[in-house]
A and B are shown apart, each in its own frame.
Chain A
Amino acid sequence: MIYREAGQFKISYGADNAFLPVLQDKFLLLIILTLFWIVFPVFASDFAFQAILLPFLIYSLAAIGLNILTGYAGQLSLGTGGFMGVGAYACYKIITLFPEINIVIAILISGIFSSVVGVLFGLPSLKIKGFYLAISTLAAQFFLVWFFEKVAWLYNYNTSGAIEVPTLYISGITVTGPSAESLVKYYVVLSVISLLTILVINIVRGKMGRQWQAIRDNDIAAEIIGIRLMFSKITAFAVSSYVVGIAGALLVFFWKGAAEANLFEIRLSFEILFMVIIGGLGSILGAYLGALFIVVLPVLINVVPHFLGLSIASATVEHVNLIIIGSLIIAILVIEPHGLSRLWLITREKLRLWPFPY
């Protein structure tokens, strides 16, 4: 009943092809946007920004990037961590070589570098498929992390061996560095992510997106009907790595504040892959839901025992964290392999009929 579409009709093709044709969907989106742009910034504490909101936004972007490659184009990639690293290090080099550049511009440019690296390591996909491709992306992952550690030029020969984010300003307001306000960082990240999400949604709903889905479903058939496999696969890697690289730069500059090469190791790749799978392959909403799940879960595990008055050694919390994440992943895969986005769609269907049973 809530989702009853009766009475909503379109009188132009444009309106019919809209992104969210149903009014209730539009309303829901408005609520979510209000929450993120107005409500959270007002009520959230510093801890909430650092532990939940910023990581949620940044990981969602990374998950969107990986979703393009794995969910829409069907090329399984385990190198996400490495590509995020490329974006982060590229951004750092740009900022330190050209200190006058606006940080947002620098971030958008650094995506190009990770895009190039992504395409390079994506070239084998023209010949290799499935698991074998996944393992090739592992080559990218391990090589890139080694590269970040070894090539001291990348981190400006810092003694710490890590990128240290300098204090940067946009029209007088500190946006990065240890003295930046969480609120400012949050708004910058939110803007970048909104922009990129709109971009990606449009790409995915357009011709390229459909080509990618065709390749995912049956690449031989796709080739037969005239889709240029090489071009599509390369663009999939390019766009995906661009988005993922930007996520990496945001991760370091606006959330962590500093980064060692180890930050981008294979654990990160698996985390993003989990988000994509749990959220649902081939769905932008899924990327957000998956990221929300993976980000909020450890916080809950940390906070709930405190609230119930139980004191648990922090080491045990770590272990319990891993156990719960592992079993929940299996549980979700067993119950709903298409992820949380499918759960949302099912809920939506039920809401159309509610409170009636059929």
Chain B
Amino acid sequence: MILEQILITPWVDMISMPALFFQTIWEGFVSGVLYSLIALGFVLIFKASGIFNFAQGILVVFSALTLIGLHSNGLPAYIAVVVTLLIMALIALGIEKFVLRKLVNQPDIILFMATIGLTYFLIGVGEFIFGGENKVMITKELGLPNDSWVFDVYDDIIIIQQLDFTTVIVALSLVILLTCFHNFTRMGRAVRAVADDHQAALSVGIHLSSIWFVVWFIAGIIALATGIVWGARAGVSFALEVIAYKALPVLMLGGLTSVPGAIIGGILIGILEKIFEIYWGQPLLGGNTETWFAFMLALLILIFKPQGLFGERIIERI
């Protein structure tokens, strides 16, 4: 009886209600894309400077809050976006100057802890300036659509939010832009050089600090984009920061240094998580499995592939 419930009923359910199945996959896909956006921020910074920037999650929230705050103080939407970007740039500068430069040769765990300290700091400042309650993202003013397309399938319906669709487009374009930047521009090449070997890059004449600044700034742009689409979907508050934790299994799957890995890992995790929750989690386990499923999945995959699906194989020497 139990075995039947675990092994057979879910598949039966999936086939008998195809509209719901497709809807589940779509919802999972959208969440997955959002996870990848956050993971992208992590990957960029890790690739360029070897720092695991835990503060990426709070930067997403912070940028969204700044945008809303600026707009509610009278700035029109698009100008607010530009100003927010400038503020994120300033924050990036501040982080680079006051935190990273002083911790240049420390072991990774110290850097990691510093970014966690940074997270707490930004949470305190953010709550102090903006207040802790939930805010609404200014979707209308930014021109983001609010409606949905409804498709009738048999006796059921599939609803696709236009906002979700826009999110996917935005994410894809960001990825394409980033890839172009990395591969076809001089600055991009410099960033790749720094990611490869700091010393060598220095010796070739690349100014490390400016490269780091550029990288953090790009991460800030991604954070803002992520904040806007996540916030439009679910409201902006500090609970959003917790979603950054979800980006971690994505990173584990995709490897800490691979951009396509982050995308594919994110989508994979998003879809699988949703399917598990709807067909196995809620009927059998009482629901709410989304809190840990992604991590368990990543853990299992890591046991077989310790560097993730796309990570570089690290060859260790003594």
Contacts and interface: CB of A to CB of B under 8 A. Distances in A.
Interface size class of B (residues with CB under 8 A): 35 or more
A128 to B, nearest CB: 5
A328 B120 CA distance: 10
A76 B113 CA distance: 11
Q: How large is the interface on A (under 10, 10 to 19, 20 to 34, 35 or more residues)?
A: 35 or more
Given A130-B108, A132-B306, A334-B99, A326 B113 contact: no
Interface stretch (A133-141, A175-183, A230-238, A302-310): A133-141
B121 A146 contact: no
Interface in B283-308: 285-286, 288-289, 291-292, 295-296, 298-299, 302-303, 306-308
A50 interface: no
Contact of A142 (B295, B307, B308): B295
Interface in A309-358: 315-316, 318-330, 333-334, 337
A143 interface: yes
Given A131-B108, A337-B106, A322 B121 contact: yes
A326 B110 contact: no
B124 A320 contact: yes
A30 interface: no
B109 interface: yes
A342 B29 CA distance: 49
Nearest to B317: A220
A53 interface: no
Contact of A127 (B108, B127, B302): B302
Among A316, A330, A333, the most chain B Cβ lie within 10 Å of the Cβ of A330
Interface stretch (B140-148, B211-219, B244-252): B244-252
B52 interface: yes
A170 interface: no
Interface string B118-136: 1111111101100010000
B99 A221 contact: no
A72 B251 CA distance: 27
A300 B264 CA distance: 48
B116 A270 contact: yes
A274 interface: yes
B102 interface: yes
Contacts of B110: 277, 333, 337
B309 to A, nearest CB: 13
B256 interface: yes
Contacts of A135: 248-249, 251-252, 295, 298
A324 B308 CA distance: 37
A189 B302 CA distance: 40
Contact of A322 (B124, B289, B295, B307): B124
Interface in B230-283: 245, 248-249, 251-252, 256
Interface in A270-292: 270, 273-274, 277, 281
B113 A319 contact: no
A124 interface: yes
A330 B286 contact: no
18 contacts: A124-B299, A132-B252, A136-B252, A142-B295, A266-B245, A277-B109, A320-B128, A322-B121, A322-B123, A325-B120, A326-B123, A327-B117, A328-B117, A329-B113, A329-B120, A330-B114, A333-B113, A337-B103
